[in-house]
């Protein structure tokens, strides 16, 4: 979990990593601008701009991940099936194209009527340079940014926040002894979070009537230590 720096410097092509970052920035910017157009439009024109924004986001997510995968140099020969690669792009665009408008058009009115809230669960990897996967960290950073954008669009009737845990003690992380030992030595709380503590943070954010557009980090103070 804590070998991102060496992974980037020794096992990745920096040119492709920078290209992935540039693609992520440009497609995110395009999606934001298109989303703003949708907010100012009505009827079918609004639906068109929403679909365009979702398509831009889907292509950006796919391209960022795929270029980051190409940047990784594991030391063995890697091949990609053309048909499956194209299918993965179609799935990415379709998923974002359907989820974005559905949330905005279908879920938002119901949430607004009940003064509901959306809580995304992301990760400390989307805020700091931690985690074992560059694409994973990039996707969590994108979710954090999306949280802020959607909070701006859906307010004041719907609040949108996120909870970003660091190391969490689960059956899956039970074998991550190096990460657990590092947390015990470095984090002010000297341990990872429990699943119940993360759930408590989600409940707090969901029930806070004035909080919106925030990413609540729950990492036992790990982010304070460089």
- From the list 204, 197, 67, 206, the residue with the least C-alpha distance to 134 is 67
By the 8 A CB rule, do 56 and 31 touch? yes
How many other β-carbons are positioned within 10 Å of the β-carbon of residue 87?
A: 11
How many other β-carbons are positioned within 10 Å of the β-carbon of residue 119?
A: 18
Q: Phi and psi at residue 12, in whole multiples of 5°? A: -130, 150
Give catalytic status of residue 136 as yes or no. Answer: yes
Q: How far apart are CA 226 and CA 216, in angstroms?
A: 19
- The string over 193-208, giving b where at least 16 C-beta atoms fall within 10 Å of a residue's C-beta and e elsewhere, is beeeebeebbeebeee
Q: Phi and psi at residue 116, in whole multiples of 5°? A: -80, -175
Options 80, 136, 183, 222, the catalytic residue: 136
Positions annotated as catalytic residues are 136
């Amino acid at each position: 979990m804590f070998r991102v720096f060496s992974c980037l410097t020794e096992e990745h092509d920096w040119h492709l990593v920078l290209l992935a970052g540039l693609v992520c920035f440009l497609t995110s910017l395009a999606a934001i601008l298109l989303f703003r157009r949708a907010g100012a439009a009505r009827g079918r024109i609004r639906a068109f701009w929403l679909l365009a924004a979702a398509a831009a986001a889907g292509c950006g997510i796919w391209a960022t991940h795929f270029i980051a995968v190409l940047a990784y140099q594991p030391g063995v020969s890697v091949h990609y099936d053309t048909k499956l690669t194209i299918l993965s792009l179609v799935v990415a665009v379709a998923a974002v194209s359907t989820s974005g408008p559905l949330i905005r058009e279908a879920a938002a009115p119901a949430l607004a009527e009940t003064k509901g809230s959306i809580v995304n669960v992301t990760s400390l990897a989307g805020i700091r340079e931690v985690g074992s996967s560059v694409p994973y960290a990039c996707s969590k950073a994108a979710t954090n940014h999306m949280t802020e954008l959607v909070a701006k669009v859906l307010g004041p009737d719907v609040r949108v926040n996120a909870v970003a845990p660091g190391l969490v003690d689960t059956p899956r992380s039970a074998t991550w002894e190096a990460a657990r030992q590092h947390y015990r030595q470095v984090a002010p709380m000297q341990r990872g979070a429990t699943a119940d503590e993360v759930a408590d943070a989600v409940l707090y954010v969901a029930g806070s009537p004035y909080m919106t557009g925030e990413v609540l980090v729950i990492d036992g103070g790990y982010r304070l230590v460089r």
